[in-house]
Amino acid sequence: MRIHIFGASGSGVTTLGNALGKKLNYPYFDSDEFFWITTNPPFTTRRPPEERNQLINQQTAQHDNWILGGSVVSWDNNWDFDLSVFLYIPPAIRLERLRKRELERYGDVIFTDPERKITTEKFLQWAANYDENLHAGRSLQVHQAWIKNLTTPVLIIEGDTTVAERIAVILSKINELEDQ
């Protein structure tokens, strides 16, 4: 089973992907690991698309079953998912999660270092604009169009549900698909 989980930043894609991977004993691949070159600070240098796609194809080809988390809408890859899962959480909850994550990831430097503060504020503004479709790239409108174009089953999970609840819904869908 090849599962794709996606949604807005802060919707819980990585948390769910890791937990589901442990439950199913599937490797979890985070699109950020392929999209961004490892740098310090992280998430500052994009990997060239050809290299990114080659890396992800090499990694996933080693497994019959896997989970890919993150938005890969514009990656020009021939995806072969068995199930796609879209997570939607209200903006206020996502932004609160992201603020907390940024503080945990970088510490007080997001307040004290002028450059890091600007970077954090820009990131949070970008994330806040997801529902408003104010930028190219990841947005609700782009994800809705992606859902319409997918040829695989799509499971939409809305609301601030627990990881356990999400896993139960996904496992039920997997069982349904396997019974067909």
> 2-179 belongs to which homologous superfamily?
P-loop containing nucleotide triphosphate hydrolases (3.40.50.300)
Give which of 122, 127, 35 is closest to 73, Cα–Cα.
Answer: 35
For 45-56, write each residue's pLDDT tens digit. Answer: 889 989 999 999
Query: How does pLDDT run across 60-104, given as a tens digit for each residue?
Result: 999 999 999 988 887 776 778 999 999 999 999 999 999 998 888
10-46 b/e with 16+ CB inside 10 Å = b?
A: bbbbbebbebbbeebebebbbbebbbbeeeeeeeeee
Check residue 176 and give its pLDDT. 95
pTM of the full structure = 0.85
